[in-house]
Chains A and B, each alone.
Chain A
Amino acid sequence: MRTRLVILGAVGATLLLAAPAARAQVSDARRLGMGGILLSDDRQSAIQNVAYRAVPRTNDPTESYKSIPLPLGLIQVLADPPEFDPKNPNFNVFQTISLISRTPWTLQLIKPEELSSDIIVDVGQDQLVVNLGDLQSLFPSGGSKIGTTLATPNLEFGTANIFGGVRPQSEARNSLNLDPTLQAALAEAAPFSPNTIYGADDDAQAQAALAFMLGGALPLLPPTDAPDGNPRKGGKAIYGGMRAKYLRGIALWRAQGHAQFATGDTIFGSSTPIETQYDIDVRQTPNPGFGEGNGFGADAGVVFFVDRLEVGLGVNDIAATIDWKDTNLDNFTYDSVNNVNVKTPVSRGESYKSRFPTTGSFNMVYRTKTITFGGTLDLTANQLWIPRVGMETWLGPTPLRGGLYVGAYSRLQFTAGSGFKIGKMGLDLALATHSRGLTDKRGLELAASLAIY
């Protein structure tokens, strides 16, 4: 049983490392239909680029609206929830892990096809080959990085120029890097060799805080030669913004470790046994709660409008750190002499400074009289770049949208969207492919948003 638990833990952790989270999807159906690009029309864009706060709203319904995403994915999960109790016979860790690859906003129409090949292990006195088949794609050569910054929509109040607000903010990320030897063994079915070290490094962090925000945004260059004062239609304008954050830390968990094993003269020989080592430092707040830490951070952004071209740069969580006043640090390692796992307390009640990853978006949008084109380059919490392109045109009250983005496993994904507008209300729908979870195959999901113009 102990062995099963250890393996279960290892498997769970590994799959968490391997499964790309729902990092590439946006919640607004209009934006998703356009490949997830960022543009000034959506008021929620100010979350990613605070300068958008100051960009004037217009009477044109396509240029200023408030989006309310419908939690279709949440409804789907609640309607058929996985078993969370590990003691229940129906508990399946893979289903549970797959939740991290779901978004609460999208309904899974077509589940990505699961990888289907068998795993073949060849064992001999001096031979070990692990052929994962299709599953080899789960171990990309550049290492595995997942991460997400979880934040509710800003609860901000104030004017377009001065505002304050509050929102929960948390992050979870993990970086796994395999030694080239282990990478080749798992991703390319390279034979394990004698007298070789196989190792992996991992860095994981999760933290949660409450962010109290105060910010300002204003036109640095007021609209010039802009029809109706709307820089989207032409002319020039520059807007800038900054949002200061006071972060009230709630909980922190951080682990850094290295594990390796070394083969002997003979892989399965008895005279030269495989030597196994691991060394993991785990730091955590022993008493999570409001006020465990204090910190500050900032968001900044700027948007240029030049002759219908919109160019924005938003950077979030700049120098966002939290000083935790009470953390415990433990070291976990393996005692090869006594064949036991050893936990060694290193420090107690120690202060520690953590940081939130800096994220950002660079976007360009160009509008003709009938079509909007755009592209965005997002920097995610796990320091991955996601390029997006998209377009939109309106046929009366009906929009037509399409887009592309590069998602998990560096696969190109496709999006399309439409909807309708009646008076000051509208409904946007989007279809998007994705390759999240323990597969690099594509699935299809549906997003829906109410639009208030």
Chain B
Amino acid sequence: MRPGKPLALLAALTLALALIGCGDHSLILRVDLLSFLTYAETHAHYGPIPNGVTDSVTVTSSRTINLLPGIRDITAVSSVSIDAVGTFVNTTGTGSGVVRIYVSADGTDPFTTDTTPIVLPITLAPATTDSVAVTISGDSELADLFVGKTAEIGIRLTLQATTGPLEGDFALTTLKAIVTAKQNVIN
């Protein structure tokens, strides 16, 4: 979406959003972040990682996602929550790992800008499939990212093998942000 273009779109499409000002309405913005990522950006193979070694795999390199434009101009964010679910199909080895999901403002490197990424810890056992889920309530700073017209996202997997070789596959199956906002056109 070209920058600036959404103005007219906004007038036509989200006049409804402005109606939240005529009562005690909230705008609930549910962003399916996973849908903006390709298969390759949500799936990764890790290992084999030898005993006692820590390794990192970048699942999603820093990339820009386009969101609903103009929302920031008419809303005041009151809360945000993020749901993330990942699945590990661990074939061999034991160990622990953590998935970190980094989100930052347009034009920045999420891996360096976001110092408080979303974290999904996991303990891995051989020949097991485990899911890990987290729901976090973010602060207004994080919420502000999801009401912009674009955001940067990056996902990185860090694994430490206790008994090697640690090897398997990871898939991010849910990544959703729910932003609650009040209108801020008038006040």
Contact = CB atoms under 8 A, between A and B. Distances in A.
Contacts of B18: 7, 10-11, 14-15
A119 B12 contact: no
Interface in A254-300: 259-261, 268-270, 273-274, 276-278
A334 B8 CA distance: 9
A130 B18 CA distance: 12
Contact of A198 (B13, B15, B22, B74): B13
Given A94-B21, A270-B66, A123 B31 contact: yes
Nearest to A94: B22
B186 A93 contact: yes
A130 to B, nearest CB: 6
B171 to A, nearest CB: 17
A371 to B, nearest CB: 42
Contact of A273 (B2, B8, B20): B2
Interface residues of A, number: 54
B185 A11 contact: yes
A128 B25 contact: no
Contact of A268 (B14, B17, B66, B185): B66
A370 interface: no
A272 B33 CA distance: 19
B25 A118 contact: yes
B15 A14 contact: yes
B70 interface: yes
Contacts of A92: 21, 186-187
B8 A259 contact: yes
Nearest to B4: A339
Given A119-B19, A200-B12, A270-B1, A3 B73 contact: yes
B29 A121 contact: yes
Nearest to A338: B4
B35 A126 contact: yes
A115 interface: yes
B108 to A, nearest CB: 18
B186 to A, nearest CB: 5
Contacts, number: 155
Q: Is the contact region of chain B dominated by helix, strand, or loop, or is it mixed?
A: mixed
Given A94-B186, A116-B24, A126-B35, A121 B12 contact: no
Given A119-B25, A135-B19, A261-B13, A127 B8 contact: no
A128 B66 contact: no
Interface in B9-58: 9-32, 35-36
Given A8-B185, A119-B25, A124-B35, A339 B11 contact: no
Contact of A3 (B1, B35, B64, B70): B70
Interface string B54-91: 00000000001011101001100000000000000000
Contact of A130 (B5, B9, B14): B14
Interface string A42-64: 00000000000000000000000
A80 interface: no
A138 interface: yes
B117 interface: no
10 contacts: A3-B70, A7-B10, A11-B18, A93-B186, A121-B29, A124-B31, A125-B35, A135-B19, A185-B13, A339-B5
Interface of B: 1-32, 35-36, 64, 66-68, 70, 73-74, 185-187
Interface of A: 3-4, 6-8, 10-11, 14-15, 89, 91-94, 114-128, 130, 132, 135, 138, 182, 185-186, 192, 198, 200, 259-261, 268-270, 273-274, 276-278, 334, 336, 339, 438
List of 3 A-B pairs having minimum Cβ-Cβ separation, nearest first: A10-B11, A124-B35, A114-B23
